[in-house]
Amino acid sequence: MSFHLPPSALDWQAKVRAFVDEELIPWEIEAEMNGGEIPPDVAARHERIAIGLGLSRMDVPVAYGGLAAPVLDQVVAAEQIGRVTNALGWCYPEAQGWMFEACSADQLERFVLPMMRGERHFCYAITEEGAGSNVDDIVATARRDGGDYVIDAVKWHVTSANLADTILVQAKMAEGRNAGTHGLFFVEADATGISTVRNPAYSHTYRHHHPILRFDGVRVPAANLIGREGEGMDFTYAWFRRERLMIAARACGAAERLIEEARAFAATRVVGGVPIAEHQLVQAMLADSVVDLHAARLVTYEAAAAHDRGLDVKALHARCSIAKLLASEAAGRIADRAVQIFGGRGYMRENVAERFLRELRVDRIWEGTSEIQRLIIANGLMKRGLAGTIGAS
C-alpha cells in the first residue's frame, strides 16, 4: 500500500520542513551544550514564526479563527517537527480540537484562544507518585467550597511547567454525589499554594523541564472546571489520543532524519578502502531502518486519515495506540542502528544520532507505555474483533 498525500498535506510538509531546517536545526548543538537553552530572542523568534505558519491553530475550528486542518495535514506537520532534536520543535502552544467541545465560552476566551495566539502556555498534570499507567489511581482531590474548588495534589513529571502559565490538573472529587469521579481544571500557575517539590534531571537536554509540583489547598474558581464533575477522564482520553498520534508522527520524522544522516555518513566514511555503505552488514542496518520507517509512517498516516474519515472514537483510540507503539519502537531501533553506523562519532553529544537515542526513549513511556498501548490494542481486538481494530482487509 502506498499513501498519496493530498496537496494541502504536501504544502504543510514543505513549509514546516523549511522552518525546521532553516530555523531550528541550526540551534540543536547550542541547546545540547547549554542545558537545553537557546538565546531568548531566538526562542521568541521561533515561536513567532511557528504561530505565523499557523501551527498553533491547525486543530482549531474556523469559527474561532482556526484552520480546522485535516488530521492528516496535522500529522504531516508534526512529522517535520519531529526531525529536530532537543525539543526545539516545541516552540509554540497549541489549542486542541477537543477543547472546543469541552470548554465553556468563558474558558475558551480566557485560556484556549490565548494559547492559539501564543499568549498562554500550558502543561498537563495527571501523573502522581502512585499513579502513572493507571490514571484512576490518582489521589489528587478537588473539594467544592462555595464558588471555588480547593485542589490538593502532588503531580510528577509535569512537562513544560517551567514555561507554563496555565496548568491542566486532573483530580478526583473529594465529596458530594460525584465523589471519586475525575475532574479536569484550568489552574493558573501562579496560584497561591503551588510549589515545586523538585526539578529532577532527565536523559534529554530540553529547556522544557518536568518538575514535581505540589498543590496545597489551591483555590480555583468553579468556572475553571472543564465540562462537568465526572467528565475529566473523557477529556484526558481525547488528549491521549491526540498526543499518541502526534508522538507517532514525530517519531517518524526523527526516523527519517536519522536514516538520511546515516545514509550520508555511510556513503562517505571510508574504512578498509571503501565507503562503509559497501559493507553488507551496514547495508542491513540501513535496510532494516527503511522498513521500520515505511511501516510506521504508513500506519501513522492511515490512523490520521481514519480520523478524517470519521471513524468511531473507540476504534480511533486503538489506531492511535497502534501508531504510537509501532512508530516509537521503530524509531528507537533506528536511532540505535544510526549510532552504530556512526561508530564512535555516534556516541558524541554533538551527533544527532546520540541525541535522538536518548530523546526517543521516552516515547515508549509517556502518554502510556508500550505495554499499556498493547493492552489497549488487545482490548479493542477482543471487543471489536480484528476488522473493528484495523479495518477489514
Contact assessment for residue 252 and residue 296, using Cβ atoms and an 8 Å cutoff: yes
Cβ 176 to ligand FAD, closest distance in Å? 25
| 123 vs 238 by CB, closer to ligand FAD | 123
Per-residue H/E/C for the chain:
CCCCCCHHHHHHHHHHHHHHHHHHHHHHHHHHHCCCCCCHHHHHHHHHHHHHHCHHHCCCCHHHCCCCCCHHHHHHHHHHHCCCCCCCCCCCCCCCHHHHHHCCHHHHHHHHHHHHCCCCCEEEECCECCECCCHHHCCCEEEEECCEEEEEEEECCCCCHHHCCEEEEEEEECCCCCCCCEEEEEEECCCCCEEEEECCCCCCCCCCCCCEEEEEEEEEEHHHEECCCCCHHHHHHHHHHHHHHHHHHHHHHHHHHHHHHHHHHHHHCEECCEEHHHCHHHHHHHHHHHHHHHHHHHHHHHHHHHHHHCCCHHHHHHHHHHHHHHHHHHHHHHHHHHHHHHHHHHHCCCCHHHHHHHHHHHHHCCCCCHHHHHHHHHHHHHHHHHHHHHCCC
* Cβ-proximal residue to ligand FAD, closest one: 132
| 302 vs 363 by CB, closer to ligand FAD | 363
Cβ 278 to ligand FAD, closest distance in Å? 40
Contact assessment for residue 174 and residue 143, using Cβ atoms and an 8 Å cutoff: yes
Cβ 124 to ligand FAD, closest distance in Å? 5
| 126 vs 296 by CB, closer to ligand FAD | 126
User: The C-alpha cell of 311 is what?
Assistant: 471513524
| 354 vs 367 by CB, closer to ligand FAD | 367
| 132 vs 346 by CB, closer to ligand FAD | 132
| 157 vs 319 by CB, closer to ligand FAD | 157
Cβ 161 to ligand FAD, closest distance in Å? 8
Q: Which residues bind ligand FAD (CB under 6 A)?
A: 123-127, 132-133, 157-159, 202, 210, 362, 365-369, 371-372, 375
| 170 vs 300 by CB, closer to ligand FAD | 170
| 222 vs 365 by CB, closer to ligand FAD | 365
Cβ 134 to ligand FAD, closest distance in Å? 6
Cβ 239 to ligand FAD, closest distance in Å? 10
Cβ 137 to ligand FAD, closest distance in Å? 9
Cβ 369 to ligand FAD, closest distance in Å? 3
